[in-house]
Structure 1
Amino acid sequence: MPAAVALCAVWTLVLLAVPAGAAGTVAAHLLFLDTAGFGALFAVALLFFERTEGTRQALTVTPLRVGEGVAARLLVLTALALFIAVPMTAVSVRDRFADLPQVLPPTLGGVALTSALLLTSCLAAGARTRDLSGFLLTVPFVVAPLILVPLVHVTGILEHPLMYAVPTTVGADLIRMGTAPESLDADPVTLSAGTAYASAWVAVGTVAALRAVGNGSLPARVRPETAKGALAPAVRVTGRGRLPAIARFARTDLLGAGRDPLLLLLLCAPVPLALLIRLALPGASDFLLTAHGFDLAPHTPALLATLVLLHVPMMFGVVGGLRAVEDADENVLLVLRASPVSVPAYLGYRMVLVAVLSLTGLAAALPLSGLTDGGPSAGVVVALVLAALQAPLLLAGMTAFASNKVEALVAVKGVGALMALTPVAAWLLPGSWKFLLLPLPPSWPVLALPGYDAGPLGPWPCLAGGVLVTAVALAVLLRRTLRRIDGT
C-alpha cells in the first residue's frame, strides 16, 4: 500500500505539471504502461517469497485453498491499480472536470482489464520458473507482446483490426476513450467485441495461473553463483590463503555469470539497447513530426539522459541489489562475521563491481546510441562518471530499506520512477528552478550533459558536487544497512 500511495502521488503531480491540453494523452500512456501493471512483478515476487519461506507447504494444512489465495491476490493488486488510477484520471481531465463521471468507467475498466491480463500472465509464467532470475529471463517474452502491440496501436504507427488479437489492445483503447477520446477511432461494436474477447482471456489466464500456482511449487534451485556458494570459498581462505577473500567472491561471480543466462543478458544489454535506439529513433522522430507536429531533435539531451545515461546504471544496480538483498535475507551477511570478509568489505565489493560494469556499459552505449554524435566532451565524460555512481547508490538503497526481494522490488519501483522523472524535470524546469533538484544524486549527471541549462554549473563543478552529494547519500544508506543487519 505505501508503494501505491507514493506512486499515485508522483504520477498525479507529474500530470499536474503537464499542460491541461496534453494531460489526457500523457495519462493514457502512463495508465497503460505503468499503473495497470503495478502489481504484476510484486505478485510473482510474493510467490517466490512464499516458496522460499515454506508458506506454500504451511497453507496445505489450513482451510485456505490455492484458488482462494490467487483470487485474493488478483483482486487486491487490481484494486491498488485502480486506486492509483482515480486521481491520475481526475487530474488529466481537469479542463473538463464535469465529465469525470463519464470518464471514469471506461478508464478504470481499461486499467482493470489490462491489470488482470498482466497479473494472470505473470503468475502463470512465474509459477513455472524456479527463481526470480528465471522469471526475469522469461517474462519479457510473455509481457512484451501485451505491451508493445497496444503501444504501436495507440501511437498510430500501425493500426489494423488484427491488433485486437492481443487482448490488452482493447484495454489501452478503453483508457484512451476516457482520458483522450479525440485520439480514438474505434467504433462501439469493436470496443464491445474486444472487451468480451479480452474478458475471455482473463478467464483463461486465471485458470492457467491457478493450475500453475497449484502444481508449480518447485523448490528454488541452489545455484553455485549465489552468495551461499560464494561464501564457502571465502571462508576457506583462512586455511589456504591463496587468494584474498574478495578475489574469491569475484571468481565465483565470474564463473556464475557463465552459467546464468540473466547475468549474461544483462552484461550484454547496453549494446543492443543503444543499437535499438539508434535504429528506431529516426523513424519515431519522423512519425512524431509528421503525425503530431512534434520535433524530437531539440530534446536529444533529455532522451539521452532518460534512455541511456540513467537507465544503464539502474539495470546493473537493480541486479546487484537483488543479489545483496538475497544474501541479507538468507543471513549470509551475518555469517560473514566469521569469515575473512567483513560486511563493509562485501558491500564495498558489490558496489565497486556494479559501478565498474555501469561505467563500461555506458562507455559502449553512449556512442552507439547516436545521441552523442558530437563526440565526447568534458560534460559527457563527467556525466558518464557520475551516472556510474548511481548504480552503487541504488544497491545501497535496496540493502538499506529491503529485507527481502519483495521489499526490494518495491524500492526499485520508487527509484525507477525517480530516475526516469529527474531528467524530464531538469529539462522542463526553467532557469534556477532546476537547482531544486540538486539534493537528488541523479540530477548531477543529468545537469552535466551538454544541452542542459545548468546555469553557473559547468562540468567540473557538477563533478565535485555530484561526488559529494552521492558520497553523503551513500554513507547514510550504508550506515542504515549495517544497523539493520546488526538488528539495532
Structure 2
Amino acid sequence: MNRLLAATLLEARVELRYGIVPVAAALGAVWTVVLFLVPAGAAGAVAPYLLFLDTAAFGALFAAALMLFERIEGTRQALAVSPLRSAEAITAKLTVLTALSLLMAVPLIVVSVRDRPADVLGALAPALAGVALTALLLLTLCLAIGARTRDLSGFLLVVPLAVAPLVLVPLVHISGIVEHPLTYVVPTTVGADLIRLGTDPASVGSGPATLGAGTAYALLWVVSGMVAARRAVDRGADPAPPPRTGTGGRGPSVHAPAVGRGALPAVVRFARVDLFGTGRDPLLLLMFCAPVLLALVIRLVFPPAAGFLRDSHGFDLVPHAPAVLAALVLLHVPMMFGVVGGLRAIEDADENVLLVLRVSPLPLSAYLAYRAALVAVLSLGGLAVALPVSGLMAGGWSAGMVVALVLAGLQAPLLLVGMTALAANKVEAMVVVKGIGAVMVLVPVAAWVLPGPWNLLLLPLPPSWSALAIPEYASGPLGTWALLAGGLLVTAVASAGLVRRTLNRIGDG
C-alpha cells in the first residue's frame, strides 16, 4: 500500500510537470462555461455528450503518451529492478487520470442541473460513476495498446479501430436512435447511461436491474483491461523491423540525411521516409484517406441526424450547417495533418534525428520549413476534396470558400510549429494538441453563435479568419479580400513567433 501511494503521488507530480493537470483544469473551465451558455432546460441533455466524449476520455491519449515516453527515458527498465511492480505503476496512472476526469466532471454536472438545485447531489453520484467507469475502460485499453506499440504514430494507427465501437455505440444509444439491450454488449454503454441518469434522468429507458447488470459487466472489462495492460507492459513493445534503405535494405536508415548531398536532396529523402516509410508506421500516408472518409461519414450522417434532432428535440440543425462545416471539416482536416506532422517532428527529436541534422547540409530551419510545407499542401488537398464531398457546401465554390480553404490549410503548419515550440516530448505534445484542438473546435462555433460585430473579437485567433470567410458567416464590414489579407497576416505573425521559439529551443536560433 505504501508503494502504491508513493507511486500515485509521483504520477501526480509527473502529470503536473508535463502540464496535464493545468490543461485538465482549463478544459473543465471552458466546457463548464460552454454548458452554462446552453439554456438551462437543454443543458441536461447536452451534458452527457460532453462528459462522455471529452471529460471521461480526457486521459486516454495521455496514458499511452506517458507510457511511450517512459520507455524512451528508460523508466520502464528502472522499474524492473525496483520494488515497484508494474501493476502498481499502472494502478497509479489509472488513479490519477481518472481522478482528473472526475474533477473536471463535477462543475459540468452541477451546471447541467442548475434548474434543479435540489437534485445536485442525486445527479453527481450516477454521473460521476459513469465518468469513472468510462474513463477506466478507455484508459486500460489505451495502456494495453500503447505498451505493445513502438511509438506514438503506431499507437494512433491502431487505437481508433479499437476505440471506435466503445464511443460510437454508446452515442447511438444515448441519442435515442437505437436503444436496444444488445448495445450493452459494448461495456461503455452503461457508463454513458449512468452519466445520462444523473444529468437527464427522464431520457433513460433502462431500469435499475439493467443498469446494475451493465455496471457489473463493465467492471469485469475494467479488471480484464488492467490485467491485459499489466501483461503488455511486462512483455514490452513488439520489436521494430530492421531499417530499410532504397538500395536493398542494408546500411543506415534513410531517415537521417547524409552529409555532403546538399539540403535539397536531404529534404527529398525526408519526403521519401514520410510518404513511403522506412519501417515506421505510415501514418502520414494513411492520412491521405482520412479527409475523404470524414467527409463521406458527414454526408451520410448529417441528414438523418438533423431529422432526428428536429423530430425528437425540436432543434433544426440544417440552418447551422455552415458552423458544422467549419468545425468538423474546414478546421478539423488541417488539425489532423498538423497533429500528425507535429508528432513526427517530436519523434524525430526523441530519436536524435535533429542531432544528426546539426552536422548535415540541412539546417534545422529548412527541416522545419519542409515539415510545415508538407502538412500545408496535404491539408489544402484534403480540404479541396473533403469540403464538396461533405455535402454541407450549400452555395458551392465561391471566392469566400476559396479564401476559407486557403486560410484553413495554413492552420496545419501553425499547429505543427505550435507543437514544436511548446512541447519537448510526446506527453507535452499531447497537452498542446488538447489545448489547441479545443480552440479550433470552439472558435468556429463561437464565431457563428456570436452576432456581428461581436464575433470580430475572435480575430486575434488565427482559425477565426477561415471560419468568417465562409459566405454564410456574419463577418461585418470585412470583405473577402480583407479576410484573406488579415488572415494571412495574423497566421504569419503567429507562425513566425512559434518558429523562432522552436529554433531557440532546439539550438538553431
Identify the TM-score tier after normalising by the shorter chain.
Answer: over 0.9
Question: Structure 2 CA distance, aligned partners of 1:402 and 1:186?
Answer: 45
The residue that corresponds to 1:286 in the other structure is 307
Question: Structure 1 CA distance, aligned partners of 2:230 and 2:254?
Answer: 36
Question: Structure 2 CA distance, aligned partners of 1:258 and 1:299?
Answer: 44
Asked if 1:181 corresponds to 2:201, the answer is yes
* Equivalence map 1:43-82=2 (5 Å): 43-82=63-102
Answer whether contact 2:274 2:284 (CA < 8 A) is retained: no
Q: Over residues 68-105 of structure 1, what are the superposed CA-to-partner deviations in whole Å (9 max), with x where a residue is unaligned?
A: 00010111110010011111111222222232111111
Higher helix share: 1
Deviation at 1:281, TM superposition (A): 1.4
Evaluate the alpha carbon distance shift between residue 251 and residue 262 of structure 1 in structure 2; reply closer, same or farther with a 3 A threshold.
closer
Question: Structure 1 CA distance, aligned partners of 2:270 and 2:213?
Answer: 56
The residue that corresponds to 1:276 in the other structure is 297
Asked if 1:454 corresponds to 2:475, the answer is yes
Aligned residue among 72, 85, 100 for 2:120: 100
Deviation at 1:9, TM superposition (A): 1.4
Aligned partner of residue 267 in structure 1, secondary structure? coil
* Equivalence map 1:30-429=2 (5 Å): 30-218=50-238, 229-230=253-254, 232-237=256-261, 244-256=265-277, 260-429=281-450
Identity %: 69
Amino acid corresponding to residue 201 of structure 2 in structure 1: P
Aligned partner of residue 116 in structure 2, secondary structure? helix
Question: Structure 2 CA distance, aligned partners of 1:249 and 1:413?
Answer: 27
Question: Structure 1 CA distance, aligned partners of 2:256 and 2:363?
Answer: 14
Amino acid corresponding to residue 452 of structure 1 in structure 2: Y
Question: Structure 2 CA distance, aligned partners of 1:368 and 1:91?
Answer: 38
Deviation at 1:353, TM superposition (A): 0.7
Deviation at 1:327, TM superposition (A): 1.8
Answer whether contact 2:365 2:508 (CA < 8 A) is retained: no
Evaluate the alpha carbon distance shift between residue 10 and residue 99 of structure 1 in structure 2; reply closer, same or farther with a 3 A threshold.
same
Aligned residue among 49, 52, 56 for 1:29: 49
Amino acid corresponding to residue 406 of structure 2 in structure 1: V
The residue that corresponds to 2:249 in the other structure is none
- Of stretches 351-360 and 45-54 in structure 1, the one that deviates more from structure 2 is 45-54
Amino acid corresponding to residue 292 of structure 1 in structure 2: H
Aligned partner of residue 37 in structure 1, secondary structure? coil
Answer whether contact 2:274 2:282 (CA < 8 A) is retained: no
- Of stretches 244-253 and 280-289 in structure 1, the one that deviates more from structure 2 is 244-253
Q: Over residues 161-216 of structure 1, what are the superposed CA-to-partner deviations in whole Å (9 max), with x where a residue is unaligned?
A: 11111111111111011111122122111111111111121111111111111123
The residue that corresponds to 2:459 in the other structure is 438
Question: Structure 2 CA distance, aligned partners of 1:138 and 1:409?
Answer: 17
Evaluate the alpha carbon distance shift between residue 438 and residue 161 of structure 1 in structure 2; reply closer, same or farther with a 3 A threshold.
same
Aligned partner of residue 385 in structure 1, secondary structure? helix
Question: Structure 1 CA distance, aligned partners of 2:224 and 2:54?
Answer: 23
Aligned partner of residue 235 in structure 1, secondary structure? coil
Question: Structure 2 CA distance, aligned partners of 1:63 and 1:256?
Answer: 40
Question: Structure 1 CA distance, aligned partners of 2:136 and 2:415?
Answer: 30
Question: Structure 2 CA distance, aligned partners of 1:230 and 1:344?
Answer: 20
Question: Structure 1 CA distance, aligned partners of 2:274 and 2:151?
Answer: 18
Q: Over residues 7-61 of structure 1, what are the superposed CA-to-partner deviations in whole Å (9 max), with x where a residue is unaligned?
A: 1111111112211111122211100011101111111111111112221111111
Amino acid corresponding to residue 222 of structure 2 in structure 1: V
The residue that corresponds to 2:506 in the other structure is 485
Amino acid corresponding to residue 166 of structure 1 in structure 2: V
| TM-score of the pair, normalised by structure 1 | 0.95
Answer whether contact 2:47 2:199 (CA < 8 A) is retained: yes
Amino acid corresponding to residue 256 of structure 2 in structure 1: A
Question: Structure 2 CA distance, aligned partners of 1:457 and 1:219?
Answer: 56
Answer whether contact 1:36 1:81 (CA < 8 A) is retained: yes
- Of stretches 464-473 and 367-376 in structure 1, the one that deviates more from structure 2 is 367-376
The residue that corresponds to 1:12 in the other structure is 32
Q: Over residues 385-436 of structure 1, what are the superposed CA-to-partner deviations in whole Å (9 max), with x where a residue is unaligned?
A: 0000000000000000111111101111111111111111111112221011
Aligned partner of residue 338 in structure 1, secondary structure? coil
Answer whether contact 1:46 1:406 (CA < 8 A) is retained: yes
Question: Structure 2 CA distance, aligned partners of 1:137 and 1:255?
Answer: 15
Gaps spanning 5+ residues in structure 2: where? Answer: 1-20, 246-251
Count of residue pairs brought into register by the alignment:
483
Deviation at 1:231, TM superposition (A): 5.0
Answer whether contact 1:51 1:219 (CA < 8 A) is retained: no
Amino acid corresponding to residue 87 of structure 2 in structure 1: G
Gaps spanning 5+ residues in structure 1: where? Answer: none
Question: Structure 2 CA distance, aligned partners of 1:139 and 1:96?
Answer: 39
Amino acid corresponding to residue 98 of structure 1 in structure 2: A
Question: Structure 2 CA distance, aligned partners of 1:261 and 1:418?
Answer: 28
| TM-score of the pair, normalised by structure 2 | 0.91
Question: Structure 2 CA distance, aligned partners of 1:54 and 1:92?
Answer: 44
Answer whether contact 1:82 1:111 (CA < 8 A) is retained: yes
